[in-house]
Amino acid sequence: MKILVTGGAGFIGSAVIRHILSDTDYQVVNLDSLTYAGNLDSIPATLLSSQYVFECVDICNREDVDRVFQQHQPDIVMHLAAESHVDRSIENPNCFVETNIIGTYNLLESARVYWLSLADEKKASFRFHHISTDEVFGDLAGKDGLFVETTAYDPSSPYSATKASADHLVRAWLRTYGLPTLITNCSNNYGPYHFPEKLIPHMILNALNGQALPIYGDGLQVRDWLYVDDHARALVLVAIKGQIGESYNIGGHNEKRNIDVVNTLCDALETLAPDKPDGIGHYRDLITFVSDRPGHDLRYAIDASKIQRELGWQPEETFETGINKTVQWYLDNTRWWQRVLSGDYQLTRRGENANGQ
């Protein structure tokens, strides 16, 4: 089986590829344009083999996407390529519209043309799995509600609006053209190889450097947290065994307020990195509150019972075990994040050859 993963050099995409290369015998084609968030260092050289091919391609370039389909003949598409940082979407929504909407349209059309050209047996087994976010649902009122697969869409930011648009396109290509599609909507991911602009790695690295830990507003925003390797297992499972036309919510069963996430990180660092920068008494002393961002949703929470009931998936990590693993990973892999912070990871990225060596 050959799986085409778009956005495979990103945080979640690279976790999917590491899982495929480590735990299966499937072949994988990594299609990524290597924007600032694409980092081939996130796929260790020790995993690279004849199972793996890298294609530096932008999904907004239809001609290049068509070539990838024709050259590599995938059995499954796992579409993760997206602009994903909410703050960046507020500052510059244009690239979110281009990548998340136009890029998804291009990929769907390339996939549809390719799918129609296949022999009957291969055509019948082809799948297009679109990976989305719980942010398309907006936020939840109160403390008890959960997002289910049928929750009405109510996006709040340019990021979530463009992801919602992509979800609608995917469903339309199924209903109008019969393209065999599936959708997953996940909660907030965290874990190794996370780009430092995101909350958890940003707080870890700031704390290690004795810098302020900025928290939006009062820090009472609630998110469900999902360890990225648990998510990767779920995504491959859905791609292979999920029912065509269905959507599946994937969550970690870990609802936490942002302030509690940061406090948990600080406590883990007290144990795992007790030698603090000069002048720092406790890591929690670095916490500071800053002005909230526009349109900041108060609460997300996922009901992941459908994927557990129908496909047998559930997360292996609790929030506490996942956070400890994450903090320890950043402590053990300083070269990875130092290359990101310095920008060195971008210097040789386009020189990678076809098998990523």
Q: Distance (Å, rounded) from C-alpha 198 to C-alpha 182?
A: 27
Residue 159 bears catalytic tag: yes
Closest residue by Cα to residue 3 from 76, 107, 52: 76
Q: Distance (Å, rounded) from C-alpha 324 to C-alpha 191?
A: 10
Given the residues 52, 105, 159, 330, the one annotated as active site:
159
Given the residues 32, 55, 58, 134, the one annotated as active site:
134
Query: In sequence order, what are the beta bridge partners of 248?
Result: 184
163, amino acid identity: K
Residue 139 bears catalytic tag: no
Residue at token pair 């939006």: 216
Classify the C-alpha dihedral 93-215-290-282 as positive or negative.
Answer: negative
Residue 345 bears catalytic tag: no
Tokens of residue 184, six digits: 């997953």
Given the residues 83, 135, 230, 255, the one annotated as active site:
135
Classify the C-alpha dihedral 258-263-268-273 as positive or negative.
Answer: positive
284, amino acid identity: R
Tokens of residue 320, six digits: 């506490």
Q: Dihedral, CA atoms, 99, 241, 50, 63, nearest 10 degrees?
A: -30
- Neighbouring residues of 218: CB distance < 8 A, sequence distance ≥ 6: 259, 289
Query: Which residues are catalytically annotated?
Result: 134-135, 159
